[in-house]
Amino acid sequence: MKIDISFLPSTFDAAAKVARDAEAMGFDGLWSAETSHDPFFPLVVAARETERIHLGTGVAIVFPRSPMVLANVCWDLQANSGGRFMLGLGTQVKGHNQRRFSVKWVSPVKRLREVVLSLRAIWDCWQNGTKLNFEGEFYQFSLMTPFFNPGPIEHPHVPIIISGLNPLINQLAGEVCDGFFVHNFHTPKYLAETVIPNIEKGIAKAGRKRADFTLLTGAFIASGGSQDEVQKAIEPVRQQVSFYASTRTYKGVLDAHGWGDTCFRLNEKAAKGNWDGMAAEITDEMLNEIAVVGTYDEIAKKLSARYKGILDRIIIGFGAPERQDEGRYRELMQEVSRELA
């Protein structure tokens, strides 16, 4: 299993340092999320500062971007990283699309399928000279003149990895994508009973092999050098879990355990701004199903027990590398790598 890390730098210098540190510490991949900063920006810097580590968006929000715009930035990142780029895409939820990005929310699964297929068509045009003629319900691409064609590159296959919680998204990933990014908000039960079976349906439908598909996830981790430090780490994780659990998009994870009513209670508290009260709704039982909790000496074995033999990559973090004692961080990485190998 490959061991990755995420980063959220806001400056060139910060992106360069984290990228160099992550590669030096032995991480296999570096993922940037779309939160308060653009997810592609730090990867441009990281591509220049590193030689081995894979680079991905984890994830970029798909619908505010034209597939042609996505195709260009991915092609350039793939070319300039020596084939190390991975495109992670997510739909976000209806409210963010409509109210934060001001884009329409229409048939997200069908529309995401067209994004993936149109990207492949555009890249095929650039790499092989195939006439561009993509006709979908939501996207149509038929114009590509030499002036706008960047031409072929050495590593033309850009892996597309999508994320989501809808079983239909799981099936879509298995059918047309290179991988699936399991949201941090999951449990082993939900992963085994919902995510993986639906991905396998998609793989079977396309006549593909599981070996050609990448399954990865991040994890909520509450850890520390002592039990006291673990207890301190638990509360911000509990708060984060309560935030996701308050959104009906994530209710299926709770339903798998009979906890669905918790979503409604959390939603009411969120509407009133009762953030402290939200965290109190997440019991220790819930927390230990959704998050991985333990001391630094325990966490590697707990991650292995949960994910070994199931995932192909995992994004871990005990805080950003630049805020850690490098020696201890490297030891943790080695322990996790040994357990998950």
Characterize the bridge pairing of strands 140-141 and 134-135: antiparallel
Pairwise CA distance, residues 161 & 181, whole Å? 6
- Kindly state the average pLDDT of the residues 63-81: 98
Owner of token pair 């322990």: 335
Residue 211 has pLDDT above 90, yes or no: yes
295 backbone dihedrals φ, ψ, rounded to 5°: -70, 170
Mean pLDDT of the chain: 94
pLDDT given at position 102: 98
Helix, strand or coil for residue 89? strand
What are the boundaries of each domain within the chain? Answer: 2-217+318-340, 219-307
More confident residue, 63 or 276: 63
Residue 337 pLDDT level (bands cut at 50, 70, 90): confident
Owner of token pair 């819930």: 286
Q: Are 174 and 205 in contact (CB under 8 A)?
A: yes
> What pTM value is reported for the model?
0.94
Q: Which two tokens stand for residue 297?
A: 């000496």
Closest CA to 315 of 19, 8, 27: 27
Residue 77 has pLDDT above 60, yes or no: yes
Q: Are 58 and 87 in contact (CB under 8 A)?
A: no
Question: 282: exposed, middle or buried (C-beta count within 10 Å: 0-12, 13-18, 19+)?
Answer: buried
Say how many C-beta atoms besides its own lie within 10 A of residue 291's C-beta.
Answer: 23
Pairwise CA distance, residues 297 & 285, whole Å? 21
Residue 112 Ramachandran class (φ > 0 left, ψ -120 to 50 alpha, else beta): alpha
DSSP for 295-318, please give it.
Answer: EHHHHHHHHHHHHTTT-SEEE--S
Q: Are 315 and 216 in contact (CB under 8 A)?
A: yes
Pairwise CA distance, residues 323 & 316, whole Å? 15
Q: State which CATH number among 2.30.30.40, 3.20.20.70, 3.20.20.30, 3.40.640.10 fits the domain covering 2-217+318-340.
A: 3.20.20.30
* 155-172 residue pLDDT tens: 999 999 999 988 999 999
53 backbone dihedrals φ, ψ, rounded to 5°: -65, 140
Question: Residue 114's Cα: distance from chain center in Å?
Answer: 20
